[in-house]
Amino acid sequence: MKYRKSSEWRKLASVLVTSCAPWNTERGVLPELDEVHPNHAYPSGRLRGTRPFEVLQKDMFSFLQEYEELYGENRLTFNEHALLHLVDCIREWGPLWNVSAYSYEGVNGRLVRLVNGTRHAHLQIAEKFLILSTMPRLCAERLRPSSTI
């Protein structure tokens, strides 16, 4: 299973919005996509639309059904499944641009640097994490002046 980075999601969203624009405009979806959270305002102060989340959820499900019909069930991955939860995330946390995954991607980069080779990566990460987390305590104990001379 392939997981996408946030930059890949951004590109995918750009492609979907431009390629699906006639489909969305035809059904009246596109104007609402930018107005999904009623509790947030534009910088101008104008409140966003109040289209019911249930309608957005239904539209997302319909989109994924059509996606499956067009591309086949074998093209439905975790990433497409995650779209089913998109409306719930917006309901809970507001617009997607308020949430960033970059800090998690940075942690993933640090974890990758703990691995040498391709075998037993999980054990290498666990071992090096334990060493790095106990190192400050060990150094403090070694550098502490001894009371017995």
**Residue 109 structure tokens:** 């980069």
Band (1; pLDDT cuts 50, 70, 90): very low
pLDDT at 107 over 50: yes
47-64: per-residue pLDDT in tens?
A: 345 567 788 888 888 988
First to last CA, the chain: 61
Tokens of 4: 């996408």
Which residue would you say has higher pLDDT here, 32 or 128?
A: 128
Single-letter amino acid code for the residue at 26: E
Position 3 scores a pLDDT of: 62
pLDDT in tens, 117-140: 888 988 998 999 899 889 888 888
Facing residues of 41 across strands?
47
Q: Which of 69, 64, 66, 96 is nearest to 80 (CA)?
A: 64
The rounded distance, in Å, linking the Cα atoms of 52 and 75 is 29
pLDDT score recorded for residue 123: 92
Q: Output the pLDDT for position 13.
A: 67
33 near 97, Cβ under 8 Å? no
30 and 24 Cβ atoms separated by less than 8 Å: yes
pLDDT value at position 54? 82
Quote the mean pLDDT of the chain. Answer: 72
What is the arithmetic mean of pLDDT over 22-31?
46
Higher pLDDT, 68 or 93: 68
pLDDT at residue 98 greater than cutoff 80: no
Q: Rg of the Cα trace of the chain?
A: 23
Are the C-beta atoms of residues 17 and 71 closer than 8 Å to each other?
no
Is the model's pLDDT at 38 over the cut of 80?
no
Cα–Cα distance, 7 to 12 (Å, whole number): 9
Q: Provide the 10 A C-beta neighbour count for residue 37.
A: 20
